């Protein structure tokens, strides 16, 4: 793991094949889980109310190009369904 000005880079995940990505939530938190083909899992939990704007991007020569806007994933506050 490397921290940079742009955020945290999980270098140990480089080159892994993704089997599935799951977004899960309950009354207290939200989590993004990335299951890799080798059976390992990255779980990122968010404890505040979160709205995620998901985008699928292609990186080429240091530039990002939008492939597809995947839309918003909205979390719920505690006590809301």
pLDDT for the residue numbered 79: 43
Count up the domains in the chain and report the number. 1
Residue 79, domain member (yes or no): no
Which residues face 13 on adjacent strands? none
pLDDT in tens, the chain (81 residues): 888 787 888 888 889 999 999 998 887 778 999 999 999 999 888 876 667 888 888 888 888 899 988 888 765 544 444
Quick one: pLDDT at residue 20? Answer: 94
Three state DSSP letters for the chain: CEEECCEEECHHHCCCCEEEEEEEECCCCEEEEEEECCCCEEEEEECCCCEEEEEEEEEECCEEEEEEEEEEEECCCCCCC
Domain residues for 6?
2-74
Enter the tokens of residue 60.
Answer: 């080429």
Query: Is 26 domain-assigned?
Result: yes
């Amino acid at each position: 793991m490397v921290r940079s000005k742009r955020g945290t880079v999980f270098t140990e995940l480089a080159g892994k094949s993704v089997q599935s990505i799951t977004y899960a939530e309950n009354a207290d938190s939200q989590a993004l889980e990335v299951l890799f083909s080798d059976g390992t899992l990255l779980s990122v939990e968010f404890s505040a109310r979160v709205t995620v704007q998901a985008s699928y991007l292609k990186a080429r020569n240091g530039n990002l190009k939008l492939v597809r806007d995947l839309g918003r994933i909205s979390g719920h506050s505690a006590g809301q369904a």
